[in-house]
Structure 1
Amino acid sequence: MKKIIIPILMLTLVTACKKNPEKPVPNVIDSMAQAKEKNIENTAQKKKTDEEAIRKTNDEILLALKNKDYKGFAAFIHPEKGISFSMYALVNPKEDMHFSKEDFEKSQPAKTLFTWGAQDGSGDPYKASINDYFTKWVFSKDFTASQYSLNKFQAAGNSLNNLKEIYPGKDFTENYIKGTEKNGEMDWKTLRFVFEEFQGKQYLIAVVNDQWTI
């Protein structure tokens, strides 16, 4: 009797296994690793895209300044935060000139004089119209022929550079023109742009000039 029962029992188990095959358990660890890898790829791609957009915007701003196209320049000003101008590396939000986009557009064609800061050495206030400030100070050299860097300082003078403290986490570009041997390379100049993204586009929130100071 035992010999008959055992084969029948084995057959029943085999049949049951065929009817209810075990479902494959998804590999949770592999899925998480793939998701993480995908996230890293997306982050890297976004960073690359942002860097390309910033470089393109930087070059377009320089070209607008070279051509004295200040209406075109105004298009890059942050629509909500406006724009600030610093004469030297030391950024002083309380004293630096600041315009909303609308105020800049209204004031730009006029001959209204603004006090942009104090001149190094004499301490005298630097007063000029927007057009004169751009021509004689901001773009005093052809920065379209400068050396470009992103979030990196290429030159440093004896003036405190607090850009990263005032604009933490913001992307900035530096357009650097090396000094001449005749002047011991101390006549270098840089033009820095600070950016902030708004609705998927990079806008200017600050323009910072830098040079050797006394």
Structure 2
Amino acid sequence: MKKSLYILSLLLMVSCSKESKIISEILPQDSTKLIPVDSLKNANLKTESGKLSKEETLKKLNNEILSTLKSKDYDSFSNYIHPEKGITFSMYSYINPKKDKHFSGEGFKNYSATKTRFTWGEKDGTGDLLVLSIKDYMTEWVFTRNFKNSEFYFNEFKGIGNTINNIKKIYPNDLFTENFIPGTEIFSGMDWSSLIFVFEQYNDNYYLVAVANNSWTT
């Protein structure tokens, strides 16, 4: 009986030794270098979500808005205006909430179909008032150049002139895009211009809260 037990123990030891050898051959030599499970989960979330970054999202919106301005489709443009805060138009990069023209989305849409004229601000240099209808303001001031062919900048200003730019101060928690057209050598680069859009998030979407033009001023 004792002899039988001794033989059975030997067989079990041999079996375990072989199994351990097989497992050691299958596993990596340095198992501590395996990727943690949490890291794999995070990587899967990033690849499977398919969500655009903020910059990609706003670049897409920026280009869509430029298309509406180029085609003078102001009904479509009004759809990008913030549903609650509306939109402010500034002739220059210095935002003056008390003086700059402000519209709700519905107000902009309705007035853009009329010849009603508004005072938008004062022209730099002369101080003359700019009085135009919405359509004329959009074509004669906002989209005076083809910004569809401009350089795109996200949350940074390429155009720097002698006008104070207080957009970041007025809209500290919002995001903005700049469509910049460089100046020419003939004018030593001083004939640059840019069109700026300020966006605010609302119900998981971004909407326009301000549109400003920028250029070299006297």
The normalised TM-score by structure 1 is: 0.78
Partner secondary structure for residue 53 of structure 2: helix
Q: Does 1:79 align with 2:100?
A: no
1:125-183 per-residue CA deviation (whole Å, 9 max, x = no partner) reads 10000000000100000000000010001110000000000000210000000011111
Partner secondary structure for residue 120 of structure 2: strand
Aligned equivalent of 2:177: 173
Q: Does 1:51 align with 2:55?
A: yes
Listed as ranges, the gaps of 5+ residues in structure 1 are 1-33
Deviation at 1:94, TM superposition (A): 0.5
Work out which of the residue numbers 127, 151, 168 in structure 1 matches 2:155.
151
Q: How has the CA–CA distance of structure 1 residues 161 and 46 changed in structure 2, closer, same or farther, with 3 Å as cutoff?
A: farther
Residues 10-21 of structure 1 aligned to structure 2 (within 5 Å): none
Listed as ranges, the gaps of 5+ residues in structure 2 are 1-37
Deviates more, 1:193-202 or 1:142-151: 193-202
1:31-63 per-residue CA deviation (whole Å, 9 max, x = no partner) reads xxx59x95xx87xx8995322211100000001
Aligned equivalent of 2:26: none
Count matched residues: 178
Kindly report structure 1 stretches of 4+ aligned residues shifted beyond 6 Å: none
Deviation at 1:198, TM superposition (A): 1.2
Aligned equivalent of 2:104: 100
CA distance in 1, matches of 2:65, 2:114: 21
CA distance in 2, matches of 1:174, 1:46: 26
Residues 15-164 of structure 1 aligned to structure 2 (within 5 Å): 34=38, 38=42, 48-164=52-168
Q: Percent same amino acid at aligned positions?
A: 49
Q: Does 1:202 align with 2:199?
A: no
Deviation at 1:200, TM superposition (A): 1.6
CA distance in 1, matches of 2:64, 2:168: 23
Deviation at 1:118, TM superposition (A): 0.3
Deviation at 1:193, TM superposition (A): 0.2
Q: RMSD value over aligned CA atoms?
A: 2.0
The normalised TM-score by structure 2 is: 0.77
CA distance in 1, matches of 2:91, 2:183: 18
CA distance in 2, matches of 1:79, 1:71: 14
Q: Does 1:191 align with 2:195?
A: yes
Partner secondary structure for residue 181 of structure 1: coil
CA distance in 2, matches of 1:123, 1:69: 30
